[in-house]
Every structure is written in structure tokens, then in C-alpha cells.
Amino acid sequence: MTAESPLAAPDTVRTVAVRGVAARVSVRPGVGRFVHEPPLLLCNGIGVSLEVLQPLVDQLDPERGIVRFDVPGVGGSALPPTPYPIAGLASWVAALMTKLGHREFDVLGLSWGGGLAQQLAIQSRKRVRRVVLVATGTGFLMVPAHPSVLAKMATPRRHRDPAYARRIAADIYGGSMRNDPEKGAKLLHAVTRSGPKRGYYYQLAAMTGWSSLPFLGLIRQPTLVMGGTDDPIIPVANPRLQARLIPRARLYLYDGGHLGIVTEADELAPVVEQFLNEETPS
């Protein structure tokens, strides 16, 4: 997937105003066989900007249209005037896609972004064609991480202190971070913009009291659920449960950690591509 297509369009990063909030957005138009196909919307994890997903983007089909964005208050997107619930953010993202000219789209959500992807699948069921859930859970009703892991996730310190990120990467991300914790520090500091601290806490607050568990059976889109067998943040029981409760879901478990879709994108992007390229049933 890394070979450049002669038709591949470059990513364009720009600011788009949506409901009074200036959002930093990266858009790569679909070309070739994807020129008329819905783009893939990527929803990121907590506290990080759209650059973190670049290794995945680099391994996806270069002709596929892709949309990335910084959540309000994170990276280069403006801090919203007040905290927001996840349902409100899903409505805002749908409005963003409308402003970008996309009536229909596929969505991939990583970690915190997987909660947003699940909410989008329900709220915008006529617009979301396919769903990919990566290393994500069902909100407060899920098999929780160890308390020591949750404590480290409760603040944005790892996004602001490279030495701290290096020290805790193995404990919270697992997978290849156990042997190379420097990967965690590089992902969080060399390629991403964290934004104001309040943006991180707004993301945490958005999920307060939220759970997708009661409505997983209502997600009717074809869904790929991916989970790592060494993920301290999202124990593997969670993707197993999601795949069991979503009617048209399939499960793909990989030997890796929480950020495997990024750190081992060369191995996992083809799994995503194969799923997205399947014919969508009526």
C-alpha cells in the first residue's frame, strides 16, 4: 500500500468553521476508482491531533478519500465555549462532513474515537455506510482497565511530558511499546499537537455516563471490530462483546497493543482495506 499511485491526491489541511467552532481538518480527495466513493472518516483517540494517524493513512489505498479532524479543543481546533456530550459532538461531526460535501461516508474510530464512531453509526445511520471500531469499548459499561492504567489516563500529562510518556508507554499501551517505549513518546510529542488542557478534559467529560451497550444491537451497518490481545486500556473482552452484540459485525484480534493500528499499520491497514472494499449489501 505504500507505493504512490500516479493519481493520488495530496492531503490538504485547512480550517473549517462548523457551528461557530473553527476546526482543523485534513482532506484527501478520492481519485481513480474511489473518485465517486464515500470517503473514510477517521476519528482519533483522546488528546491527540490528526497527525497521529498518518502511519495508517500512509498504508491505506492512496486513491481512497480520507477525512481527518482535530476534535474541538485539541490540536489545531478551537476550544468550544462549553463542554459537549458525545451525541452533540457526533451531530457536529455530521455537520462537518456536510460542509465538506460528503453526504455518505465510512467511519473508523480509534480508542476514544471509537465511541464517537458508534454514536455516529446510530445518529447518522443513513449517512454512515461502514464502521471500523479499533481498540475501543462501550463507555462506562465495559470491562474496565486496571485502576493504575485508568489513573494514568485521567490527566493529559503524557501528552505534555515526553519523559513521563516514555516511562508509562509500556504500562498503558502494551504491544510493541513494551520493548520500545520511545515509540509512545514519539507518537505523543514528535508528531502531534495537544492543544489546551481543557480540551482533554472536555473529551473526558463527553463520555461521562455514556455507553453504547444498550444500542449496539441497533447498529445495522457492516462493522469490523478490531482489538489487540495485549491492550491494557481496552481489555480484549470488550471487542469480543461488541462483535457479539452488533448484528453485522465481525471480529479481528491481532497480537498487539492499544496503538497497533498506528505502530503496526503495515500489517493492519490491509485488513481495514479488505473490509472497506467488500460490496455493501442493500
The residue from 26, 49, 111, 212 that is catalytic is 111
Distance CA 169, CA 36 (A): 40
Instruction: Identify the residue whose cell numbers are 498518518.
Output: 54
Counting every residue, how long is the chain? 282
Mark whether 111 is an active-site residue: yes
Distance CA 168, CA 221 (A): 36
Say if strands 40-43 and 128-134 run parallel, antiparallel, or are unpaired. Answer: unpaired
Whether residue 23 contacts residue 8, with contact meaning beta carbons closer than 8 Å, is answered with no
Q: Which helix (H) or strand (E) holds 130?
A: strand 128-134
- List CB contacts of 245: < 8 A, sequence separation 6 or more: 213, 216, 217
Cα–Cα–Cα angle for 203, 16, 98, nearest 5°?
85
Angstrom distance (rounded) from CA 4 to CA 77: 30
Only one residue has cell 497480537, namely: 255
* Residues annotated catalytic, as ranges: 111
